[in-house]
């Protein structure tokens, strides 16, 4: 790539800010919507449809935007995603304010919010594939895992920030919080519009999709299994605290939220520090991360007391913080000039994992509170086998 040493750093810093801002808005919506929906007069089913159907639309749209990113450039997809995010958050702020003041009814609010969210996720589904492609464009092969780790850490930091916004403002000033987040994403969009150059390389041909998917299949399965395991834990941790440790609902929500936040924080540490600083190949990062995560999940299944469960969850986050950037780097190294297309297909695997994990976790929890953890440990053990048997990308 014809960038100076300083230029990739400026691009990375700008893109990290954009991803943090976007993730903060996304996380805030996911955290506050179940409770806020009831205040707005929505049913629990309507709230779940608002989250689930929009997530499905984003998952299906991502591969299409990925192909577009390789053919037409990454910058416009990033701008489209940030612009759609800004517009949605600002519109949602107005809707919430009007509904809570009684200016509009619940049915109108839901219809408008659903339509706006659907448009936003469809237009914004190319943001993450395009961002992943930019990080691939500006990093050398031997630094690819570090670049992928930086992108993952940006999403994790944004998710934590969105949770903090929800904790401080969701109960008393939800509309104001949405407006602040809209302004933050708007600043990021302005920075991208003014400062982000196009980084797309000269190779624009996209290989036949079926052959392309088969070429990446091992790593897409790793993505699916790892994200399914993590999503299952998000679903069942609070349930286990109630059914396995006897905590009341409020206490389980506080402790469970703290545990998942701890896992996210250690994941960020793995992505931001270890994956970038360790002089390990992407394959080694994937292998060590999978083994660490599997072992800690097994420890979580047997944990007899809360401190041990908390420590095990922290270890799971750390393991995933090594595994996920290593796996993304493996995909990137094999994608050549089709970085955004590969990232879009991987986003499809991520979406499927995030959808299947909670369902499997809830079903297994009915067997026993420990069953989801055993299943997640087995999934990560399979990931470790896949990673250990993966060939060197430079030998393909």
pLDDT at residue number 393:
57
**pTM passes above 0.85:** no
pLDDT band of residue 29 (cuts 50, 70, 90) is confident
What are the tens digits of pLDDT across the range 244-261? 998 887 777 678 778 888
Average pLDDT for 15-27: 93
Provide the pLDDT for residue 172.
Answer: 79
Confidence (pLDDT) at 253: 67
CATH 1.20.1250.20 positions along the chain are 6-195, 209-395
Asked if residue 1 has pLDDT above 90, the reply is no
HEC assignment per residue over the chain: CCCCCHHHHHHHHHHHHHHHHHHHHHHHHHHHHHHHHHHHCCCHHHHHHHHHHHHHHHHHHHHHHHHHHHHHCCHHHHHHHHHHHHHHHHHHHHHHHHHHCCCCCHHHHHHHHHHHHHHHHHHHCCHHHHHHHHHHHHCCHHHHHHHHHHHHHHHHHHHHHHHHHHHHHCCCCHHHHHHHHHHHHHHHHHHHHHHCCCCCCCCCCCCCHHHHHHHHHHHHHHHHHHHHHHHHHHHHHHHHHHHCCCCCHHHHHHHHHHHHHHHHHHHHHHHHHHHHHCCCCHHHHHHHHHHHHHHHHHHHHHCCCHHHHHHHHHHHHHHHHHHHHHHHHHHHHHHCCCHHHHHHHHHHHHHHHHHHHHHHHHHHHCCCCCHHHHHHHHHHHHHHHHHHCCCCHHHC
pLDDT of 2 above 50: no
Residue 185: band (very low, low, confident or very high) from pLDDT cuts 50, 70, 90: very high
- What is 209-395's CATH topology? Growth Hormone; Chain: A; (1.20.1250)
Superfamily of domain 6-195: MFS general substrate transporter like domains (1.20.1250.20)
- Average pLDDT on 280-289 reads 92
């Amino acid at each position: 790539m014809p960038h100076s040493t300083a230029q990739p750093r400026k691009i990375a810093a700008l893109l990290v800010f954009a991803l943090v801002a976007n993730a903060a808005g996304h996380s805030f919506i996911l955290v506050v919507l179940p409770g806020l929906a009831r205040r707005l007069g929505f049913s629990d089913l309507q709230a779940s449809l608002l989250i689930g159907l929009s997530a499905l639309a984003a998952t299906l749209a991502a591969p299409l935007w990925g192909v577009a990113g390789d053919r037409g450039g990454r910058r416009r997809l990033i701008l489209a995603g940030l612009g759609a995010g800004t517009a949605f958050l600002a519109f949602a702020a107005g809707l919430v304010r009007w509904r809570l003041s009684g200016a509009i009814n619940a049915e109108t609010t839901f219809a408008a919010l659903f339509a706006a969210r659907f448009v936003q996720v469809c237009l914004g589904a190319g943001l993450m594939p395009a961002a992943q492609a930019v990080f691939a464009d500006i990093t050398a092969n031997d630094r690819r895992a570090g670049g992928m780790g930086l992108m993952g850490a940006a999403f994790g930091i944004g998710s934590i920030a969105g949770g903090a916004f929800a904790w401080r403002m969701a109960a008393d000033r939800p509309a104001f919080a949405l407006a602040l987040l809209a302004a933050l994403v708007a600043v990021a969009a302005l920075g991208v519009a003014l400062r982000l150059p196009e980084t797309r390389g000269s190779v624009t041909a996209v290989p036949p999709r079926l052959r392309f998917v088969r070429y990446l299949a091992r790593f897409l399965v790793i993505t699916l299994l790892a994200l399914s395991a993590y999503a299952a834990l998000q679903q069942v941790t609070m349930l286990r605290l109630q059914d396995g440790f006897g905590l009341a609902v409020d206490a389980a929500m506080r402790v469970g939220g703290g545990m998942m936040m701890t896992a996210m924080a250690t994941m960020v540490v793995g992505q931001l520090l270890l994956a970038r600083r360790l002089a390990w190949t992407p394959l080694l990062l994937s292998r060590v991360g999978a083994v660490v995560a599997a072992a800690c999940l097994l420890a979580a299944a047997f944990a007899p007391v809360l401190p041990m469960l908390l420590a095990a969850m922290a270890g799971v986050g750390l393991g995933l913080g090594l595994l996920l950037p290593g796996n993304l780097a493996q995909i990137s190294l094999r994608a050549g000039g089709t970085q955004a297309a590969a990232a879009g297909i991987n986003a499809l695997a991520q979406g499927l994992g995030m959808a299947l994990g909670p369902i499997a976790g809830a079903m297994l929890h009915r067997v026993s509170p420990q069953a989801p953890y055993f299943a997640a440990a087995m999934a990560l053990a399979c990931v470790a086998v896949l990673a250990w048997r993966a060939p060197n990308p430079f030998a393909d």
